[in-house]
Amino acid sequence: MKQTIKLSLVAASILALTACNQKAEEKPVEVKLETELQQQAYGIGASVGNFLQKDLADKKGFGVELDQALLMRGFQDALAGEAKLDEEKIREVLTALDTSVRELQAEKTKADAEKNKAEGEKFLADNAQKEGVTVTESGLQYEVLSTADGKKPLVTDVVKVHYKGTLIDGTEFDSSYSRNEPTTFPLNRVIAGWTEGLQLMPVGSKFKFTIPSSLGYGERDLGKIPANSTLVFEVELLEIQDEKVEAAAE
């Protein structure tokens, strides 16, 4: 919190100082980026300016829209030694602002999570009625896209797969296909939906899994994967690596 306030103040002070200089000269400051020092000076201003722009936009997203004219005036007054709030009051109001924003953020996160859960439940109910979709006892849904005669992995196996993961609206959040590189992992160290689902797959097959949030990441908000998200994966099981190791040892 202290770092956020400090960076906000630094960014605002630079903007305010720029405004003061422009007012005094009655014309825009000519930007010269010919030397390294000039580029460094401009870079500092651009960096904190970008931070402040994002910080104000984030606050606006939670319904807190700060008066930028007052922000600029506050720093102009402070630079002139005529600030209308003392340092103690400034710390008090900025701490209150930070607390308010965090509370609003928590409320939005909770509301979004509840919405995701409701939408996910409806999606699962609709998907379960589609031809070719099987629902397991746990609630995992799967569809066989292509089959093969390979061996099915055990929970203790290490598997190699290609996959694509999307949210129910089709937004892709991860894909080994996009990286052009399969991924390898122990089957007992991934989300429950994967641990259960891949044990149903013969090597060489490709399945589509629709995973309830309870078998995925639950209430955790992972950024690209919001809290309570129902997940859709297309998974291609390439090999069981433990078998490969055992064969080489014989």
The span from the CA of 228 to the CA of 213, in Å, is: 5
Q: String of b and e for 8-23 (b: at least 16 CB within 10 Å)?
A: bbebbbbbbeeeeeee
Look up residue 9 and give its amino acid.
Answer: L
Residues in the chain, overall count: 250
DSSP state of 202: P
Given 90, 173, 185, 242, which residue is catalytic? Answer: 173
Spatial CA neighbour of 78 closest among 2, 1, 10, 4: 10
Given 75, 123, 142, 163, which residue is catalytic? Answer: 163
Q: 75 an active-site residue?
A: no
Q: 191 an active-site residue?
A: yes
Given 157, 191, 221, 242, which residue is catalytic? Answer: 191
Q: 173 an active-site residue?
A: yes
Structure tokens at 172: 């892709």
The span from the CA of 135 to the CA of 140, in Å, is: 6
Given 174, 185, 221, 242, which residue is catalytic? Answer: 174
Dihedral sign for Cα 121, 125, 130, 134, please. positive
Would you state the torsion angle of the CA atoms of residues 204, 154, 196, 132, taken in this order, to the nearest 10 degrees?
40
Look up residue 90 and give its amino acid.
Answer: I
The span from the CA of 92 to the CA of 90, in Å, is: 5
Given 123, 207, 209, 233, which residue is catalytic? Answer: 233
Q: 142 an active-site residue?
A: no
Q: 42 an active-site residue?
A: no
Given 75, 123, 207, 217, which residue is catalytic? Answer: 217
Catalogue the active-site residues: 163, 173-174, 191, 217, 233
